[in-house]
Amino acid sequence: MLHLRIITPTDLTERVVKMLEAELAVTHVVVLPAAARQPPGDLVLCDVAREGANEVLDELRALGVDSRGAVTAEDMDLVLSASAKRAARAAPGLGADAVVWEEIAQKTGEETRLSATYLVFLCVATVIAGIGVLLDQPILIVGAMVVGPEFGPLAALCLGLVQRRRTVVTRSLVTLVVGFAVAMAVTVLTTWILTWLGLVDEAMLTAPRPLTDFIWRPDALSWVIAFLAGVAGMLSLTSAKSGALIGVLISVTTVPAAANAAVALAYGVTHEAWGSAVQLLVNLTAIVVAGIITLAVQRLWWKRPSVNPTA
């Protein structure tokens, strides 16, 4: 369930409370008159089943609570209440499958900014992957996948396209394009420095690399893997039971390809650089397509007519 804390102007409190009491998915309604100071108003507390949260949040927006007051929500890990169980049963679907769109927009909105931290993480991940490519060491590729932060703007891009938010789409694209461009440039420079120091050389790139040469050889399976990664990534973002390491699955299809392209460019191995670039483009496209389809299906699923099981 979600716990809502609502600051509402005094003239709206009665309408807000009536709306909450009418929602079968809402329980534990508490009203504290004149408890709020900034912004001023009454404080209304309640718990809502995740399955019914979208309707409640939409109603609060329609009443203007978000512009004149405030609404905050947080997940509740433990609820011991027969009333809460009844509310969860009355709401359609399962809480683990519910998509709270405002929550997803908040999460992904923070990932569209081209921050210094994002650039550092992506540069570090790409450099590590570049060294892993030269050494033909999958363990370094895995390390780069863990560090890679690109799942955030990819998810934001998918949500922006589904909800037709042009600003979110633009910011996400800028973050992705500039981020990968900077990371690849840093990897090229790092490769040159390591070569000058005698730690790596072009022969390491052109030698047989049975464990990592798949990175620059795009094929049909590349699309399938990236598509499945996109589905898993988006489900992890929208599900209440998401896994923190799901971004690793996304990175396996992006960071290594960018790194291999950068290393190949550093040594002037154009055919391998081109293959890696195509691999990266194919993978990014597949992830975005999968994310859009997943979000669209989830939105249609939660808009379907539902039958109240208590009726």
pLDDT in tens, 96-150: 556 777 777 777 767 778 889 999 999 999 999 999 999 988 888 888 887 888 8
- Which residues 6+ apart lie within 8 Å of 25 measured at CB? 48, 49, 51, 52, 53, 55, 56, 87, 88, 90, 91
Q: Residue 46 has what pLDDT?
A: 92
Looking at every residue in the chain, the average pLDDT score rounds to 83
Q: Which amino acid is at 209?
A: R
pLDDT at 53 over 70: yes
**Stronger pLDDT, 250 or 212, i.e. the higher one:** 212
For the stretch 17-23, contacts whose Cβ atoms lie closer than 8 Å and that sit 24 or more positions apart, written own/partner, are 17/44, 19/56, 19/59, 19/60, 19/63, 20/44, 20/46, 20/56, 23/48, 23/52, 23/55, 23/56, 23/59
To the nearest whole percent, how much of the chain has pLDDT over 70?
87
Rounded Cα distance between 156 and 9, Å, is 33
Q: Residue 192 has what pLDDT?
A: 95
- Parallel, antiparallel, or unpaired: how do β-strands 2-8 and 40-48 relate? antiparallel
Q: Residue 102 has what pLDDT?
A: 75
Rounded Cα distance between 223 and 272, Å, is 18
Rounded Cα distance between 206 and 269, Å, is 8
The token pair at 258 is 């960018």
Q: Are 251 and 150 in contact (CB under 8 A)?
A: yes
Q: What beta strand segments (E) does the chain contain?
A: 2-8, 26-37, 40-48, 70-75
Q: Residue 15 has what pLDDT?
A: 93
Q: What is the pLDDT of residues 276-302, one digit of tens each?
A: 888 888 888 888 898 889 888 877 765
**Stronger pLDDT, 170 or 254, i.e. the higher one:** 170
- Over residues 76-86, the mean pLDDT reads 83
- Which residues 6+ apart lie within 8 Å of 164 measured at CB? none
Tokens 């489900």 locate to 235
The token pair at 166 is 């042009």
**Stronger pLDDT, 154 or 219, i.e. the higher one:** 154
Q: Residue 12 has what pLDDT?
A: 92
Task: Identify which of 104-113, 127-136, 204-213, 223-232 has the greatest average pLDDT.
Answer: 127-136
- Over residues 21-34, the mean pLDDT reads 91
Q: Residue 305 has what pLDDT?
A: 44
| For the chain, the helix, strand and coil percentages under 3-state DSSP, each to the nearest 5 | 65, 10, 25
* DSSP SS3 for 145: helix
- Which residues 6+ apart lie within 8 Å of 151 measured at CB? 233, 246, 247, 250, 251
Q: Are 157 and 138 in contact (CB under 8 A)?
A: no
Task: Provide the CB-side half-sphere exposure for 240 (13 A, CA).
Answer: 17
